[in-house]
Amino acid sequence: MIASYIYLMQKPKPALSKSPNSKTDIITLESDILSAQFHPRGASLAQLIYKPLNLIVTPECPNRYAPNHYLGTIVGPIANRIAQATFTLDNQTFPLDANEGKHCLHGGRFGLSEQDWQATEINDDSVTFTLDVADGDMGFAGPVRYQACYRLENDKLHINYQALSPRNNYFNLVPHFYFNLNGDAVIDRHHLWIDADYYLPVDDTLIPTGERAKVASTPLDFRDSRHIGNTAIDTNFCLKSSPNDMRDAVILSADNGVSLHVSTNQKGVQIYDARHIGRQFLAIEPQAYPNAINQADFDSPITAPHQLYQSKTIIALRC
C-alpha cells in the first residue's frame, strides 16, 4: 500500500443490495431520469436504462463480464494497442502480454477488465471501485492504485477514472461501452457526429502510423451528423481542442428521438462498429492516442510520481 495516496475514499458506506465486494453483486444507482447497474468485475457498467430502453450491450451472465469482448468494462492500464507489446520508460524496458498477435491490447489477457475491483464507496447516486495493483502485474510499472468513479446526475452519467503511482508511469484508462439507442439489429441507421478534423491512420495490424490525416473527403468525415450506414469504423479520431477541461466529442442519435452526447477531457476517441458481434452496437471510447509512448510525434503520455492521472467522461441522454 502506498502511504501517500491523496485521494483515498472515506469509510465505505452500506451497499445498496448485498455485500458490495461480492463478485456476483450488482450495484444499482438511480436518478430522476436514468437507472444504471454496475458490477465489480472490471468495474463494469452492466445496464443503462433510459425511457425505458437499456442502451448498452452486456454479457448474459454477471459472473463473466470481462471475457465477453470487454463489454461494459474499464480497459487498461493502457487501452488500445501497444506495438510489439513493449515500451521503454526511465530507461527500463517493459515487456507486456502479446494478446493480439505481436501486440498488447487493452492491458493484456488479465488487464483491469479482468480484475475483481472493490466497491469502496456507495451512495444513492454514485459508486467508487478501487483496485491496488503490484509492480510488474502483466508487465506494467507499479505499484498503482486505480479508482473508477461513476455518478448519476439527472440525464448524465459522470465517469472519472483515476490512477496514482509513486513513479513515472503510463496510463490510458478507457470506458469500453457499446451502445444501441433503438434496439435495431444493426447500428447502420444511427446518426453519428464527431468533433474531429483528423484521425489516426493505422497499419495492417491496427497500430497508428504516427501521422494525422484529414477526415475531409473520406468515409470517416462525421463533422456533420449523418447515418453510419455501412461505413467500416475502428478508428481513433483526434478531437478538436477546447479552452475548457472537457471537450465535446460525439453525438449518437437514433430515429426514436434518443440521442447520446459524449464529452471528455481526453484528446482522442476510438469509434468501433462492433463488427465482431454483427455491427449491432457502436463502441465509443474516449482515450489518449494509442501507442503514444512509442510515437515521438504524439503528446507524451507520462504521468509524474504522485501525480493524479484522471480520465473524465460525461454521457448525457436526450430525447
Alpha-carbon separation of residue 64 from 23, 40, 100, 128 (angstroms): 10, 11, 20, 20
pLDDT at position 77: 97
Alpha-carbon separation of residue 205 from 72, 75, 234 (angstroms): 24, 19, 12
Instruction: Please report whether residue 70 resides in a domain.
Output: yes
pLDDT at 9 over 50: no
pLDDT at position 59: 58
pLDDT at position 1: 32
Segment 38-70, tens digit of pLDDT = 999 999 999 999 988 999 986 543 444 334 568
Instruction: Please report whether residue 53 resides in a domain.
Output: yes
Residue with cell 507486456: 96
For residue 278, report the phi and psi dihedrals to the nearest 5 degrees: 80, 25
Domain holding 142, by residue range, is 27-318
> Do you find a cis peptide bond into 301, omega within 30 degrees of 0?
no
CB-based contacts of 51: which residues, under 8 Å, 6+ apart?
Answer: 258, 317, 319
Segment 208-229, tens digit of pLDDT = 999 999 999 999 999 999 999 9
pLDDT at 17 over 90: no
The amino acid sitting at 210 is G
Instruction: Please report whether residue 4 resides in a domain.
Output: no
Instruction: Please report whether residue 72 resides in a domain.
Output: yes
Instruction: Answer yes or no: are the C-beta atoms of 40 and 31 closer than 8 Å.
Output: no
pTM: 0.91
What would the grid cell of residue 269 be? Answer: 476517441
Instruction: Please report whether residue 36 resides in a domain.
Output: yes
Instruction: Please report whether residue 1 resides in a domain.
Output: no
Q: What SS3 state is found at 51?
A: coil
The amino acid sitting at 185 is A
pLDDT at position 24: 53
Segment 164-199, tens digit of pLDDT = 999 999 999 999 999 999 988 999 999 999 999 999
Closest CA to 160 of 39, 309, 54: 309
Instruction: Answer yes or no: are the C-beta atoms of 128 and 13 closer than 8 Å.
Output: no
Segment 123-173, tens digit of pLDDT = 999 999 999 999 999 999 999 999 999 999 999 999 999 999 999 999 999
Instruction: Answer yes or no: are the C-beta atoms of 47 and 17 closer than 8 Å.
Output: no
Segment 258-317, tens digit of pLDDT = 999 999 999 999 999 999 889 999 999 999 999 999 999 999 899 999 999 999 999 999
Write the CATH number for 267. 2.70.98.10
The domain tally of the chain equals 1
Question: Mean pLDDT throughout 11-25?
Answer: 42
What would the grid cell of residue 75 be? Answer: 480497459
Instruction: Please report whether residue 276 resides in a domain.
Output: yes
Instruction: Please report whether residue 19 resides in a domain.
Output: no
Segment 84-128, tens digit of pLDDT = 999 999 999 999 999 999 999 999 999 999 999 999 999 999 999
pLDDT at position 179: 96
